[in-house]
Every structure is written in structure tokens, then in C-alpha cells.
Structure 1
């Protein structure tokens, strides 16, 4: 059929155009996230303020470092003359096991998670 333009059967051109648009949009989102991360790391933006619109847009949040305090109950059997001595012996046992690894604890701590800086590592798009 001369003069009649035939459409490709698979729609390959449209599919390719949509794929290219999606790749460009993904690259722009990745660039935006890197720019936001850099602004937070530089102290120009607050991490919580920055993550709120990302969450609202259903985009991945900027990763952060967190300091997490976990209350852990340990049941130890020790030999002692009194409950005070038993507590001291148990604490000394735990201190000896944990402090060489740089871990500390406070038996009065109820547990909490404190946010830190945004991770200053390359992130994916």
C-alpha cells in the first residue's frame, strides 16, 4: 500500500520513548536526592525538614546514622554474700565483657533512638 504509513506492530518506538523518559526522570530524582543530601551534610537544610517532602512524595528518605539505646535484661548467676554484692559482681562481669568492645550501658536508661547526621556516602537514585 503505497503512501500509507504503517505503524510498527510492537509499538517499539513508543516503548523506547517511555523508557527514555523514565530513565531521565529517575536520573533527575537521583540528582535531586544527592543535592538534598549534600545540602543537609553542609548544614544548609535540616534532615527532618528534607525527609518530610520526600516521604510525602513516596520517595526514599535520606539515610541517617542513628544512635540507638536498647535496654537489655541480663540474668546472671553470681556467688555473693548479699544482694548488693551480687549486683556489683554481675555488673563487674558485664563491664569486663562489654567495655573492651567500647560498649557502655546505664541500667536506668529506658531506651531511645537519637538521630544523627545524614550519611555522607554516595546513594543510589
Structure 2
């Protein structure tokens, strides 16, 4: 189930990020707007666009959040591996799981270390 959802979420996120998807949505809104006089700008006419956009937005939130969570986790794993294999401090591995105050302390330490570094001559 999870793999299927991930594949669908990735495919939908990829497709909706394309120019043709925007053009399709824009065309739909324009057709709806032009049809206003035909339907005498009725409540049903308004309800159609309102309901459609609400449902699409509701579903897209979950799909986009899923892809962002996976992308963020993948980037974090890559950064952790770079720290492990390079000259970075291993203490930074996993800091995304700390509290905001703990992360702020890490940032302060980094800012102090950056300020103490000498700038190489040109």
C-alpha cells in the first residue's frame, strides 16, 4: 500500500508541476468564468468551482506533503553520509530530531566557529 501511494504521489506531484497542468487548470477556470452568464451566475454555478477547487486542494496537500517528507528524508540521509565520510563533525548527524532550542545551540556554535575562521589571503 505504501509503495503504491508513494508511486501515485510522486507521479501526481510530477505531473501537476508541469506547464500543461497549469494550462489545464487555467482553461478550466476560464471556461467556468465564461459560462457564468449562461447559468445566470447561480449558486450552483459558483458551487461547482468552489467544490472542485476545495477537493483538489485537499487531496494535493497530502500528496505534496508525502513527496516533501520523502525528499527531506533522502536529503538528510545524504547529508549524514557526507558528514560520516568527510571532515564534518559526527555530532551533527541526526540533529533534525532535536528540539528547536537544541538546534539553535548548534547554530550558535557554528556561527561562532565561522566568525573565528581566518579568511585566506587572495
TM bucket normalised to smaller = 0.3 to 0.5
Instruction: Name whichever structure is richer in strand by fraction.
Output: 1
Instruction: Name whichever structure is richer in helix by fraction.
Output: 2
> Taking structure 1 as the reference length, what is the TM-score of the superposition?
0.35
> Taking structure 2 as the reference length, what is the TM-score of the superposition?
0.36
